[in-house]
Amino acid sequence: MADKILVFYGSYRSDRMGIRLADYAVAQLRARGNDVALIDAKAINLPILDRMYKEYAPGTAPAALEALAAKIKGADAFVFVTGEYNWGPQPGLKNLTDHFLEEWFWRPAAIMSYSAGRFAGVRSAMTWHGILSEMGMVVISSTIAVGPIGKSLDENARPIGEGGASLERAFPRFADDLAWWTEAAKAQRLRKQPPY
């Protein structure tokens, strides 16, 4: 059975280039036989966090929140594609994730970062490790960092240049690592109910 993977992307910029990396991840994971969906924070456009999903009475959450909660709960694994804003995570992606908590529990998460410069968003990726762990996910050790993004993926999310070649070399191990943890987590959830 195919693994259900959600790929999250969080830039709200009009000329965003990181969507190329999100699209690349979706295509590559689908090519490996996974059931993959892109969750674009800008398209969902949740309000700045006031009430978490769990703070609404059953059946009263806004429709977008209810639909996204169902997708998160139904997923086997997550991939977070993050840019770096002033050494930190993108506010759009952080806002989206903060609307949920228990929905994330007991599943693996992987991080792909990017930037326009040579640091490739790694400072944001480091921040996301702690955030995702605190939210109940197991963050895999393999990461992908792409930069400069505009010289690594073209407008159709095809790898170009040295950065693109590096991405193509790194992605199989990254995906294998995520697949191993996804299988392990699925098997454990079937074997034993999570403790909370």
Distance between CA atoms of residues 154 and 37, nearest Å: 21
Q: Specify the pLDDT at position 160.
A: 98
pLDDT means per 10 residues, the chain with 196 residues, are: 95 95 98 98 95 96 96 98 92 97 97 93 96 97 96 97 97 98 96 90
Of residues 11, 176, 147, 162, the one with CA closest to residue 90: 11
Let me know: does 27 contact 35? Beta carbons within 8 Å.
no
Q: 35-50: per-residue pLDDT in tens?
A: 999 999 999 999 999 9
Q: Specify the pLDDT at position 118.
A: 87
Q: 97-128: per-residue pLDDT in tens?
A: 999 999 999 999 999 999 998 899 999 999 99
| Domain regions of the chain by residue span | 4-191
Which stretches of the chain are assigned E, i.e. beta strand?
Answer: 4-9, 35-40, 77-82, 108-114, 138-146
Domain 4-191 class in CATH: alpha beta
Q: Specify the pLDDT at position 112.
A: 98
Task: Give kind and range of the element (H or E) at residue 73.
Answer: helix 63-74
Name the pTM for this structure: 0.96
